[in-house]
Amino acid sequence: MLEANEGTREIMEEIQTRMARNPDRARRIGTFGFIELEDTWGDETTILNTARVSTSNRRLSDPSTLSDKDRSLLEHLLSEEHGTPFETVWFRYRFIAPIFVLRQWVKHRVSTWNEFSMRYRKPISAFYVPDTKARTIEGFEVMTQEQTDRYVSLMETVNRFYEEEYETICQKIDGLRLQGSLPPKTGGRDPYRARARELLRCAMPVSNYSDVYWTVNFRSLMNFFNLRTKETAQYEIREYALAAYDVFGHAFPLLRSIMEKIGKAPITPASS
């Protein structure tokens, strides 16, 4: 069994803390995956005020006071895809997902993206392991348990390689500093350890997890929901997209209900 490094243990503890503090907006996905809707800017009134800017001086400030006419306008804007008013509401998600999922996710470019860097930190020593559902299509087991066990063994070997080689390099750096062959560390980023991380990260597989902050406006978020929750989307990113939709729905129940009413919501949203 691969032992989690210190940074990974800290992330595991943080996930547990966030799940306890923000249960309606945080979800676990698989053995190490996680997503949380940490913050939002704007609400239904922001959308309506933006849409009415050229036709009315009426301004709303509390979503709980919306009239039937307000709700009807919101439904009309969504159903007719009047996009720009929905660009005024923003969401900030944090998610921990396999790197191969991130490579699909980052293609949704109308957003901002800040990812865990293996230049500055050691990798997260956890990797994606497909469960039986992920390995099976229409009853056919595409990847057997025996093959999965070999895959797990290989991923553990790669992760151990990083930890062992990095430790060896760091010991060498420390020894040469004691001898005076390398200059002492003067504060800030150690260039020698940094270069070791830069080189060794080349060996890390796309199954390893990474950590991302994703800030996106509602129009782009709806496009993400539309594309990544379809049954034709890859299983792993679909699990994250469904969870992202689920926590969005807890934060914005009115928008969720309208999306479901006009057929713009995922057919099978996450239930937990």
Q: What pLDDT is recorded for position 13?
A: 97
Q: Is the pLDDT of residue 3 over 70?
A: yes
The per-residue pLDDT for range 255-264, each reduced to its tens digit, is: 999 999 998 8
Return the CATH number of the domain spanning residue range 6-42+89-261: 3.30.1360.170
Confidence of residue 188 (pLDDT cuts 50, 70, 90): confident
Place of tokens 């080689």: 165
What mean pLDDT value characterizes the chain? Answer: 94
What percent of the chain has pLDDT above 70? Answer: 98
Domain residue extents for the chain: 6-42+89-261
What's the pLDDT at 22? 96
pLDDT band at 186 (very low <50, low <70, confident <90, very high): confident
Angle, nearest 10°, between helix axes 235-251 and 253-261? Answer: 120
Positive or negative torsion for Cα 156, 15, 268, 215: negative
The amino acid at 74: L
- pLDDT above 50 for 221: yes
Is 228 an active-site residue?
Answer: yes
Q: What's the pLDDT band for 266 if we cut at 50, 70, 90?
A: confident
Say if residue 269's pLDDT is above 90.
Answer: no
Could you tell me the pLDDT band of residue 57, with boundaries at 50, 70 and 90?
Answer: confident
Answer for the pair 51, 82: CB distance below 8 angstroms, yes or no: yes
Q: Residue 1: which pLDDT band, with cuts at 50, 70 and 90?
A: confident
| pLDDT of 241 over the 80 cut | yes
User: Would the pLDDT of 270 be above 50?
Assistant: no
Give CA–CA dist 220/90, Å, rounded: 10
**Residue 218 pLDDT > 50:** yes
To the nearest 5 percent, what fractions of the chain are helix, strand and coil? Answer: 55, 15, 30
229: confidence class by pLDDT, cuts 50, 70, 90: very high
The pTM of the full predicted model, rounded to 2 decimals, is 0.93
* pLDDT confidence band for 268 (50 / 70 / 90): low
Query: In the structure, what pLDDT confidence band is assigned to residue 171 with cuts at 50, 70 and 90?
Result: very high
Render pLDDT for 79-112 as a digit per residue (tens, 0 to 9): 998 889 999 999 999 999 999 999 999 999 889 9
Q: ∠ at Cα 7 (177, 100), nearest 5°?
A: 115
Pairing of β 90-98 and β 111-115: unpaired
Catalytic residue from among 25, 27, 94, 228: 228
